[in-house]
Amino acid sequence: MSYQTPRGTYDILPEEVRKWQDLEQKLRDIASRYDYEEIRTPYFEDTGVFARKGDSSDMVNKEMYSFGDNGSFTLRPEGTAGVIRSFDQHKLYGSMEMPARFYYVGPMFRHERPQKGRQRQFTQFGVENIGLKDPQLDAETIALGIDIVRSMGIRSIKVCINTLGDDASRKAYNEALRAYFAPHIDELCGDCHRRLEQNPLRILDCKVDHELDLVKNAPRLADYLNEESRTYFDGVLKALDAMGIEYEIDDRLVRGLDYYTHTVFEVISTRPESGAQATIFGGGRYDHLVEYFGGPEMSGMGFAIGLERLLALAGEDGYTFPEKQPLDAYIITLGEVGAAPLAIASRLRQAGMRAVANFTKRSLKSQFKSADRAHAKHIIIVGEEELKNNTVNVKNTGTGVQETVALEQLLSKLQGEE
Ligand code: HAM
C-alpha cells in the first residue's frame, strides 16, 4: 500500500522547515515591534462563524471543508472570523487596551483547484487590530505587512489600494450595479446570477466574467462614495505618503471576502513569473464583524499573508536562508567501548551542547565521513586503548588539530573552543 499527500497539500521536509523557522522568527519579531500579541484559535469552528448570513463570497459558498452532522463544523478557511469570535467570546473589548492587536500563524483550508501558489492547505500569518477606526492605523497595518515582505528580501512589489466606502456608499453603488447588470443578465455566468441578487459588487471580482466589456464598463465605485468615505480614504493615502509607501489606487479592487468596509488593499509581486497567484497579502477594514459575533459596535482592520507564496518569492529573489547549525561534537568509536560514547554524548547534552554518537561500529573511515557530513565542530574518537586511560581523542575540525584529552577535561576543553 502506498500513499501520497492529498491533492493540494504538501509535506515540508527538514531542509524546508529550516526556512519556515527563519520566516516565523521574523514574523514574530516584526509583529512584536508593532506590539501585536499572538492569539491561537481552533483549526475548526462552528460553520456559522464563516458562513455568515447572506455571505456571497466563493470562499464561503464553494470552498469550505465542512463536516460533522449536517456540516455543522468547518475547517477554518481564513483567520479573521475566528479571532473576532474569540475577541467577543472572551469579552476582550472590556479588558484590553484599544486597539487590541493580535497576530496569528497557522494552516487554513480551502477546497480550491490546486495550482502554483494555490493549495488546499496553506499557511497564513495574519494580524487584526480592533477597536480604533483611524486612517493612520490602516496605513500602519499595511506598513507592517510590507516590513515582513521586505525582511525576506522581496523588493518587486506593488501596493494596490481602494476603498469600498461606508454602508451608505456601498448600498448606493450596489443599487447602481444592479440596475446596470439586470438587463444583461444572460451575458453573465451562473454564479453571477446569484451575485446580482446577493451582492452585485462580487461580479467585478468574478474569475469568469471579469474580462467582459460589460464588466469593464460597469459604474465606478468612486462615483458613489459620500463625503465621509472620501475623507477617510484621503486620510489613509496621506498617512501612506507620510511613511513614504508608494501605492496604486485600483478602483476595481473589491477583495474576495464579504466583510470589508472602507479601506481594502492587496500587495502583489511584480515578478512576471508570479503569474495569476501574485497576491502576497491582502486585507482591509471591517466595521461589522465584532457586532455580528455579539460584541459592541467596533471596527477592525487586518490582513493575511500567504506564507508559501512569501517563501517562494524569497527564494527567487536570492534571499539567503540560515544554514543548519553545526553540531558541537560528533562521537565515533574504535574497538569495544561499550556504552562510553552514549555516556559522553549524554554528558555533553546535559551541559547544553549539541552532540551525536555514532553507534554503528562501521569502519573508522566511514564514521569520519558521517562526522564530516554532520559539520561537527569537534570529532571525538573513543578508542578501546584510550578509554583504559580515561582519555579520548579530540579533533577540532576548524583547525585540524587532534589531541588526547582526559575524559574529565573534555567538557571544559570543548567549551573553551566554542
Ligand atoms: P485572503 O485574500 O483570502 O484574505 O487571503 C490572504 C492571503 O492568503 C492571500 O493573499 C494569499 O497570499 C494567501 N492565500 C489565500 N488562499 C490561498 C491558497 N489557496 N493557497 C495559498 N495561499 C493562499 C484573508 O484570508 C483575510 N482573512 C485577510 C484579512 C485579515 N482581512 C482582514 N483581516
Same domain, 102 and 152: yes
Strand, coil or helix: what is 151?
helix
Q: Is the CB of 129 under 6 A from ligand 1?
A: no
pLDDT at 177: 95
pLDDT tier for residue 268 given thresholds of 50, 70 and 90: very high
pLDDT at 272: 83
Residue type, 398: G
CA 296 to chain centroid, in Å, comes to: 29
CA angle 80, 72, 48 (to 5 degrees): 35
Q: Is the CB of 260 under 6 A from ligand 1?
A: no
Ligand 1 pocket: which of 75, 108, 160 to mutate (most atoms within 8 A of CB): 108
The Cα 76–Cα 106 span in angstroms is: 10
Ligand 1 pocket: which of 257, 286, 289 to mutate (most atoms within 8 A of CB): 257
**In terms of pLDDT, which residue wins out, 55 or 36?**
36
Residue 59 maps to a domain = yes
The CATH number of the domain where 343 resides is what? 3.40.50.800
Same domain, 254 and 230: yes
Q: Is the pLDDT of residue 259 over 90?
A: yes
pLDDT at 56: 87
Residue 87 maps to a domain = yes
pLDDT at 150: 95
Residue type, 13: L
Q: Are 173 and 268 in contact (CB under 8 A)?
A: no
Same domain, 378 and 296: no
Q: How far, in Å, from the CA of 282 to the mean position of ligand 1?
A: 6
Across the range 202-229, mean pLDDT stands at 92
Q: How far, in Å, from the CA of 283 to the mean position of ligand 1?
A: 8
As a residue count, the chain comes to: 418
Q: Are 151 and 324 in contact (CB under 8 A)?
A: no
Ligand 1 pocket: which of 142, 279, 299 to mutate (most atoms within 8 A of CB): 279
Same domain, 306 and 242: yes
Same domain, 124 and 260: yes
Q: How far is CA 109 from CA 7, 74, 309, 329, 353, in A?
A: 12, 9, 15, 42, 39
Give the end of a domain, one of 261, 290, 316: 316
The Cα 197–Cα 350 span in angstroms is: 67
Q: How far is CA 369 from CA 364, 366, 399, in A?
A: 9, 5, 17
Burial-class residue 62 by CB neighbours within 10 Å (0-12, 13-18, 19+): exposed
Q: Is the CB of 78 under 6 A from ligand 1?
A: yes
Give the end of a domain, one of 260, 283, 316: 316
Across the range 247-267, mean pLDDT stands at 95
CA angle 355, 371, 406 (to 5 degrees): 60
Same domain, 34 and 108: yes
pLDDT at 339: 95
Same domain, 238 and 368: no
Same domain, 49 and 132: yes
Residue 6 maps to a domain = no
Which ligand 1 atom sits closest to the C-alpha of 79?
27
Which ligand 1 atom sits closest to the C-alpha of 77?
25
Question: pLDDT, tens digit, for every residue of 78-91?
Answer: 999 999 999 999 99
Q: How far, in Å, from the CA of 400 to the mean position of ligand 1?
A: 51
Give the end of a domain, one of 316, 338, 355: 316
Q: Are 267 and 158 in contact (CB under 8 A)?
A: yes
Q: Is the CB of 308 under 6 A from ligand 1?
A: yes
Across the range 316-321, mean pLDDT stands at 85
pLDDT at 407: 96
The Cα 408–Cα 353 span in angstroms is: 16
Which ligand 1 atom sits closest to the C-alpha of 110?
19
Which ligand 1 atom sits closest to the C-alpha of 285?
32
Query: Can you state the percent helix, strand and coil of the chain, rounding each to 5?
Result: 40, 20, 35
**CA atoms within a 13 Å half-sphere pointing along the CA-CB vector of 312:** 19
What is the arrangement of strands in the sheet containing 391-396, beginning at the earlier edge strand? Answer: 355-357, 329-334, 378-383, 391-396, 402-406
For the chain, percent of residues with pLDDT exceeding 70 = 100
Q: Is the CB of 300 under 6 A from ligand 1?
A: no
pLDDT at 417: 79
Residue 193 maps to a domain = no
Across the range 216-229, mean pLDDT stands at 95
Residue 221 maps to a domain = no
Q: 54-58, 284-288, 313-317: which has the minimum mean pLDDT?
A: 313-317
The Cα 178–Cα 193 span in angstroms is: 11
Residue 278 maps to a domain = yes
Q: Is the pLDDT of residue 418 over 70?
A: no
Across the range 165-192, mean pLDDT stands at 94
Across the range 331-353, mean pLDDT stands at 95
Q: Is the CB of 77 under 6 A from ligand 1?
A: no
Query: What domain count does the chain have?
Result: 2
Which ligand 1 atom sits closest to the C-alpha of 283?
31
Strand, coil or helix: what is 130?
strand
For residue 6, cis peptide bond before it (omega within 30 degrees of 0): no
Question: pLDDT, tens digit, for every residue of 355-374?
Answer: 999 998 899 999 999 999 99
Which residue segment(s) compose the domain that 344 sits in? 329-416
Same domain, 53 and 87: yes
Same domain, 336 and 299: no
Q: Is the CB of 112 under 6 A from ligand 1?
A: yes
Same domain, 119 and 232: yes
Question: pLDDT, tens digit, for every residue of 385-406?
Answer: 999 999 999 999 999 999 999 9
Across the range 159-174, mean pLDDT stands at 96
CA angle 220, 58, 119 (to 5 degrees): 120
Mean pLDDT, rounded, of the chain: 95
Q: Is the CB of 80 under 6 A from ligand 1?
A: yes
DSSP 319-379: PPPPPPPPPSEEEEEES--TTHHHHHHHHHHHTT--EEE--S---HHHHHHHHHHTT-SEE
pTM: 0.94
Residue 51 maps to a domain = yes
Same domain, 255 and 369: no
The CATH number of the domain where 110 resides is what? 3.30.930.10
Residue 287 maps to a domain = yes
Strand, coil or helix: what is 202?
helix
Strand, coil or helix: what is 78?
coil
Q: Is the pLDDT of residue 164 over 90?
A: yes
Across the range 316-328, mean pLDDT stands at 89
Q: Is the CB of 122 under 6 A from ligand 1?
A: yes
pLDDT tier for residue 205 given thresholds of 50, 70 and 90: confident
Cell of 246: 508608494
Ligand 1 pocket: which of 124, 133, 137, 286 to mutate (most atoms within 8 A of CB): 124
